[in-house]
Chains A and B, each alone.
Chain A
Amino acid sequence: MTAEAVPRSKSGTPARGAAGGPKGSGRGRQALLWLAVIAIMIFCLFPFYWLINTSLKTGPDLSSANLLPPNPSLKNYDSIFTDADFTTALRNSVIVASITTFFALLFGSFAGYALARLRFRFKFVILAIVLSISTFPPIAIAAPIFKLWTDTGLYDTLLGLIPPYLTFSLPLTIYILASFFKEIPRELEEAALVDGATHFQAFRKVVLPLAAPGFVTAGLLAFIEAWNQFLFAITLTSSPDARPVPAALAFFTGSQKFEVPLGTITAATVVITVPLVIVVLIFQKRIVAGLTAGAVKG
C-alpha cells in the first residue's frame, strides 16, 4: 500500500521461537526479537529523521532524496527565526498553552477530586459530560464560537483561544488526576478529617502533595493537547500577533504555483517538535503512567 510501511513486528508472540515449544530455541527467538525492535525503531524514527534531514537542505538538494544532506546548512533555521511572524507565533503558543495548562490543572484537580472522592448525586452524569467533551468534534463549535467572539471582541486574541483550548484539555486532565487521586489511600485523608480538617483542607494538604506526579503527567498531556490545537487556531485568529504555531505553519505552506518552501516548513516543524520531543522523553515514565492510568484498572 505504501512505499515504506514497515511490516508488522516479526516477533509477535505467535512466532516465539522456531521450535514453538515452551522452551523454544532462545537464540532464534532473540534474533527475531531484535529484528522486531529494530523494525519498530526505524518505523518510529525514520520519518522524524527525514524531517530533520530535509530541514538541513537548501536549494536544489531539496529535490533529491539523499539520506544525508549533501550540503548541510542551518539557513532554513536562520530564516525562520528571523521571521518575526514565526517567533511571535511561538511566543503565542507558549503563552496560550501554558495558561491553558495552568487552568486545566487547577479546575481539573478540583473536579477530579470531587469525582474521585466526594459523594454527591449526578456524579455519573458529570463524568459522562466530561468524557463526552473528549468526543466532541471541534468543528461543531468552531463557527458558533467564531460568531460569539466576533461580537464580543475576543476574535483574534490570545485570550479568546483559551476557553476552547481549556475545554479540550480538561477531560483528559480530570480523568488522569481522578485516577491518581484514587490511588492515594483513603486512610490518609480520613486521618486528616478525624483531626478536624475540612474536606477541602484534606484535599489541599494531604492529597495534593501526594498526587504531585499525577500533576506532572496531566500537565504535560494538557500542554501537548493545547499545543497541537489546530482547528481553533486557524478559525479564531487572523493576525500574526495572535496566531499560534500550528496556524503559522499553515501559512508557511501555500500553493503549488510557486516553489514549495520545503526547507523552511520542515525547519519550522522541527523547531516546534524537538522541544516537545525532549520534554516527552524526559518525562516518558510519567506520561506512560498517566496514559495508562485507568485503562488498565478496567
Chain B
Amino acid sequence: MSAALAVAAIAVAGCGDDDEDTESAKKVEPGAAEQAKGNVNWCIGKDTTGTFSKAVKEFSSQGQVKANLIELPAAADEQRTQLVQRLQAKSSECDVLGMDVIWTAEFAAQSWLQDVSDIVAERKDVWIPSTLETAKYEDKYWALPYNTNAGFVYYRTDQVQEPPDNWQAVYSEAAKGDGIVYQGARYEGLTVNFLELLYSAGGKVLSDDGKTVEIDSPEAVEVLKFMADGIEQGAAPKAVTTYMEEESRRAFESGGATFMRNWPYAYSLGKDSKIAEDFDITTFPKFGEGEGAGVLGGYDVAISAYSKNPDGAAAFAEFLTSPDWQKTIMTEASLPSTLTKTYDDPAVQKAFPFAVKLRTAVEQAQPRPVTPVYPQVSEAIFKNVHLALQGKMAPDEAIKTMKGDIDKALQTF
C-alpha cells in the first residue's frame, strides 16, 4: 500500500512536469483508519485553550489508537522550524502534523507528507471549498483542513454609522477619525494584509500553475500606493509598520483607532475590554470595483511520511475533522471550523454571534500563493511592501523589485 520513497532526480527547478515533484509520495487509504491501533503523536503549536489536550484524551478513550500531544512553540515560524528540523532528520517523532496552511506546498514537495487524496475524496463535500484549496498541491490532497481563519474589518460603532463598502471609503473615514490599524510589520502578516487588498483589486501574485510571476500589474501598484498613501496622509498611524496582531489589537482596544484589520480572535478579547460595547466587525469591503476578498489562514492536519503509524494518524486526523469535534473547537477554542455545517449549529452561533459572517468571509477568501518556495515568495512581498510603507521606496519601484525577487525565488534550486 505504501510505496517506497524514491528520490526524484530531476533537472533544475522551474521546469518539469506538473506532477513530478510528488510522484512517488506515500498514500494513506481510507478504511485503514478503522483497523488502526498503537500510538500516534500530534505535533502542533502551544495548546493555549486546552482543546488540544482534550482532543487527544477524547480520541484515546474512544478506540484502539492512543494519541499523544507534543506542543511546539506558539509562533508559526518557530513551529515550522521545529517541524522542518525533525523532518529533515527523518524523525518519526511526529505522526500527525499541525500545518499552517502556507506550508502545504513546501512540505509536500519535499515528500514529507503522505498523500491523503483518497481520504479527502470520501468526505469532500463537508468542507468549505476554499479551505480544501489550502491542502492541495499538484492536484493531490496532502492534509485535512482542520481550522480556518479569515480576517475582518473591526470598526467602532460609536464613531462609524455604517461600515463602508469599499476600502477607499474606509481609509477616508479613518483619516477623519482615529485611523486604521493593521499588521504592517516586516513579517508574514504584512503579506496577508497586502494580499487581502490585492485580491480585492483583482490582482494576482502567481499564475494559476504557480510558474510565472504576475505581480507586476497596475492593480498591485495601485494597491501598494493606496497603502503607502494611507500612512503618509494619516489614515493609518506610522507606528503601524511595527505592528503585528497583538500590537494592532491593543491599539484598537485601548480606544486609539477607529478601524482595525485583524483575525476573529480579537473579537472575544475585545468584548472583554473597555470598548466592549462600541465595536463590531464586517467582512472585507471591495477595493474599487471588485469583490471583497480575504486571505485564508488556519491549520490543516497532515500525516508525516516518516510516521510509524500512518493508519493511526489517519484515524486521529479524521477525528479532528469530524463534525462533533469541529463543533467543540469552535465553541471552546474559538477556532473557526473548516466544515460548512458547523456554522449552522445553534451552539456555535451562540459562541460566535457573527458565525455566518465568518463562514462568508472564509468562503470568499483565497489561499496565499501555492508554491514550494512560499517562504521566499512571502519574504519578497513583505520586504518590499514594508519599504514602500515606510516611504523608503516608491510603490511602482517596490512592485518591480518585488517581481524580481519573486522571480529569483521561483528559480530557487
Interface residues of A (CB under 8 A from B): 85, 146, 150, 155-156, 235, 238-240, 250-251, 253-258
Q: Is the CB of A255 within 8 A of B89?
A: no
Tell me the smallest distance from the CB of B283 to a CB of chain A, in Å: 22
Q: Is the CB of B86 within 8 A of A254?
A: no
Q: Quick one: which of A155, A238, A253 has the most chain B CB within 10 A?
A: A238
Q: Is the CB of B89 within 8 A of A253?
A: no
Nearest neighbor of A255 in chain B, beta-carbon distance: B75
With A238-B82, A254-B46 as contacts: A156 and B73 at CB distance below 8 Å: no
A156: B residues at CB distance < 8 A: 89, 91, 93
Cα–Cα, bound, A250→B78 (Å): 10
Question: Out of B71, B73, B74, B86, which one reaches A238, CB within 8 Å?
Answer: B86
B91: A residues at CB distance < 8 A: 155-156, 238-239
Cα–Cα, bound, A255→B244 (Å): 10
B90 at the interface (CB under 8 A from A): yes
B396 at the interface (CB under 8 A from A): no
A150: B residues at CB distance < 8 A: 88-90
B46: A residues at CB distance < 8 A: 254, 258
Question: Out of A240, A254, A256, which one reaches B247, CB within 8 Å?
Answer: A256
Q: Is the CB of B74 within 8 A of A257?
A: yes
B165 at the interface (CB under 8 A from A): no
Cα–Cα, bound, A155→B71 (Å): 19
Nearest neighbor of B48 in chain A, beta-carbon distance: A258
Interface residues of B (CB under 8 A from A): 45-46, 48, 70-76, 78, 82, 85-86, 88-91, 93, 244-247
Q: Is the CB of B89 within 8 A of A254?
A: no
With A238-B91, A238-B93 as contacts: A256 and B244 at CB distance below 8 Å: yes
Enumerate 12 A-B pairs (CB-CB under 8 Å) in ascending A order.
Answer: A150-B90, A155-B91, A251-B72, A254-B73, A254-B74, A254-B75, A256-B75, A256-B244, A256-B245, A256-B246, A257-B246, A258-B46
A238: B residues at CB distance < 8 A: 82, 85-86, 89, 91, 93
B246: A residues at CB distance < 8 A: 256-257
Tell me the smallest distance from the CB of B75 to a CB of chain A, in Å: 3
B71: A residues at CB distance < 8 A: 85, 251
A239: B residues at CB distance < 8 A: 70, 91, 93
Tell me the smallest distance from the CB of A87 to a CB of chain B, in Å: 15
Known: A239-B93, A254-B46. 15 other contacts (CB 8 A): A146-B89, A155-B89, A155-B91, A156-B89, A238-B85, A238-B86, A239-B91, A253-B73, A254-B74, A254-B75, A254-B78, A255-B76, A256-B247, A257-B245, A258-B48
A254: B residues at CB distance < 8 A: 45-46, 73-75, 78
Tell me the smallest distance from the CB of B77 to a CB of chain A, in Å: 8
Nearest neighbor of A241 in chain B, beta-carbon distance: B93
Tell me the smallest distance from the CB of A243 to a CB of chain B, in Å: 11
Tell me the smallest distance from the CB of B191 to a CB of chain A, in Å: 16
Tell me the smallest distance from the CB of B158 to a CB of chain A, in Å: 26
Nearest neighbor of A240 in chain B, beta-carbon distance: B70
Cα–Cα, bound, A258→B74 (Å): 8
Tell me the smallest distance from the CB of A1 to a CB of chain B, in Å: 20
Q: Quick one: which of B48, B70, B89 has the most chain A CB within 10 A?
A: B89
Cα–Cα, bound, A257→B74 (Å): 8
Cα–Cα, bound, A155→B306 (Å): 15
A253: B residues at CB distance < 8 A: 73
B76: A residues at CB distance < 8 A: 255
Q: Is the CB of A255 within 8 A of B78?
A: yes
Nearest neighbor of A85 in chain B, beta-carbon distance: B71
Tell me the smallest distance from the CB of A36 to a CB of chain B, in Å: 39
Nearest neighbor of A149 in chain B, beta-carbon distance: B89
Nearest neighbor of B265 in chain A, beta-carbon distance: A257
Nearest neighbor of A239 in chain B, beta-carbon distance: B93
Q: Quick one: which of A85, A146, A156, A258 has the most chain B CB within 10 A?
A: A258
Cα–Cα, bound, A257→B48 (Å): 11
Cα–Cα, bound, A235→B45 (Å): 19
Tell me the smallest distance from the CB of B185 to a CB of chain A, in Å: 10
Q: Is the CB of B93 within 8 A of A251?
A: no
Cα–Cα, bound, A75→B191 (Å): 39
A251: B residues at CB distance < 8 A: 71-73
A146: B residues at CB distance < 8 A: 89
B82: A residues at CB distance < 8 A: 238
Cα–Cα, bound, A85→B68 (Å): 14
B244: A residues at CB distance < 8 A: 256-257
Cα–Cα, bound, A240→B70 (Å): 9
Q: Quick one: which of B74, B91, B245 has the most chain A CB within 10 A?
A: B74
Nearest neighbor of B75 in chain A, beta-carbon distance: A255
B88: A residues at CB distance < 8 A: 150
Tell me the smallest distance from the CB of B335 to a CB of chain A, in Å: 13
Q: Quick one: which of A150, A155, A156, A257 has the most chain B CB within 10 A?
A: A257
Q: Is the CB of B74 within 8 A of A255?
A: yes
B73: A residues at CB distance < 8 A: 250-251, 253-255
Nearest neighbor of B49 in chain A, beta-carbon distance: A258
B74: A residues at CB distance < 8 A: 254-255, 257-258
Tell me the smallest distance from the CB of B84 to a CB of chain A, in Å: 10
| Cβ-closest 10 pairs across A and B | A254-B74, A255-B75, A150-B89, A255-B74, A256-B246, A254-B73, A155-B89, A238-B86, A239-B93, A258-B48
B72: A residues at CB distance < 8 A: 251
Q: Is the CB of A257 within 8 A of B89?
A: no
